[in-house]
């Protein structure tokens, strides 16, 4: 018999490996159930983003291939998602409907075993979490092309919920229709941000076709699924859900187009070692105030990754600032800097410390 293995022998070997994987998955599941019992007894959070990140990092560092790291993370995301569902059913509210980029971000963070509940507005997502109808929520906060999502920032002014994780999602927009033919398109539907991100392509390729704003890219796809003369700007998941054909892929004007999403919950996340802290504050209207509000961080060498201002709705010409910085609120330097910041502020609010998505 030849030393070279036959196709049947290789398949049998794969079956044996699969059997071992199945056995190990069930062993892991038993341990997860035990952890869930311990957490309930100690009233601890079931979902710990820092632990999830630690698992991904450890496994990708050990991976010698040829199985790719991104695929490895996808596999373990679903293992972790199914495991969390064994501990406790995971209900997550997100800005819907299904097949939007926020839906994709929620799936990327929580996997397919979580119960993902679409909501019609950002305030509705916050309300679901505040009233414990959902354990967590997922909302967009900024786009690398279009900037901050003001509705999300405004909600943090009213809510005591915390940011427990962030998700970065590359956003690519496809032009979708029933026929897949450019010449059939008489009208285009999409969300205003998606339209803005594709403005140059639309002007160059469909300059005389009217463009209509709708509440979401998924709603645009739903409308187009019933109209042979219309097209939608949406993601590939919308094409699959509504059985549309791709007229043109990736029509966005900027190639590196990312949207950042926030996962919101009721408690600050545990320290992971590579964290980000977000806060909001309003300063007193004094000479040199901008210098004084930044000096506590500069003097301690704390990196500020973002600062954004929003007008206070109740007072003309007064502003509230949103700040992202490197580190966790439990770090002594961070807590000292924020305490010093309070001296020149009308109020300071910690929005959360959470693992940095890099």
Please list the active-site residues.
259, 261
Strands 187-190 and 211-213, by their bridges, are: parallel
Q: For helices 332-341 and 289-298, give the axis angle rounded to 10 degrees.
A: 170
Distance CA 247, CA 232 (A): 10
Sort 315 into a burial class: Cβ within 10 Å, 0-12 / 13-18 / 19+: exposed
Distance CA 127, CA 93 (A): 10
Q: What is the largest CA-CA distance in the chain?
A: 89
Distance CA 198, CA 330 (A): 42
């Amino acid at each position: 018999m030849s030393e070279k293995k036959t196709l049947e022998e290789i398949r049998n070997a794969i079956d044996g490996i699969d059997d071992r994987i199945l056995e190990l998955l069930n062993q892991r599941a038993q341990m997860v159930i035990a952890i869930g019992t311990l957490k309930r007894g100690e009233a601890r959070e079931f979902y710990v983003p820092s632990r999830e990140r630690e698992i991904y990092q450890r496994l990708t560092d050990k991976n010698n291939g040829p199985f790719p790291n991104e695929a490895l993370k996808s596999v373990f995301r679903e293992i972790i998602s199914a495991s969390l569902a064994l501990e406790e059913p995971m209900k997550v509210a997100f800005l819907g409907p299904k097949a939007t980029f926020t839906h994709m971000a929620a799936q990327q963070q929580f996997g397919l075993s979580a119960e993902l509940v679409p909501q019609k507005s950002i305030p509705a997502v916050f309300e679901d979490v505040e009233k414990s109808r959902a354990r967590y929520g997922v909302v967009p906060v900024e786009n690398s092309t279009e900037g901050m999502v003001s509705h999300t920032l405004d909600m943090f002014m009213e809510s005591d919920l915390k940011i427990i994780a962030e998700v970065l999602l590359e956003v690519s927009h496809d032009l979708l229709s029933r026929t897949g033919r450019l010449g059939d398109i008489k009208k285009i539907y999409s969300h205003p941000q998606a339209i803005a991100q594709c403005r140059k392509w639309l002007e160059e390729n469909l300059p005389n076709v009217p463009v209509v704003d709708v509440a979401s890219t998924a709603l645009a796809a739903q409308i187009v699924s019933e109209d042979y003369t219309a097209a939608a700007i949406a993601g590939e998941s919308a094409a699959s859900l509504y059985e549309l054909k791709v007229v043109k892929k990736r029509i966005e004007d900027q190639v590196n187009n990312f949207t950042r999403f926030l996962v919101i919950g009721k408690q600050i996340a545990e320290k992971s070692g590579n964290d980000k802290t977000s806060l909001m504050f309003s300063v007193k209207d004094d000479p040199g105030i901008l210098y004084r509000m930044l000096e506590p961080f500069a003097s301690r060498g704390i990196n500020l990754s973002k600062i954004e201002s929003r007008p206070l709705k109740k007072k003309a010409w007064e502003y509230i600032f949103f700040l992202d910085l490197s580190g966790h609120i439990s770090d002594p330097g961070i807590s000292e800097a924020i305490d010093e910041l309070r001296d020149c502020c009308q109020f300071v609010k910690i929005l959360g410390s959470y693992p940095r998505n890099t």
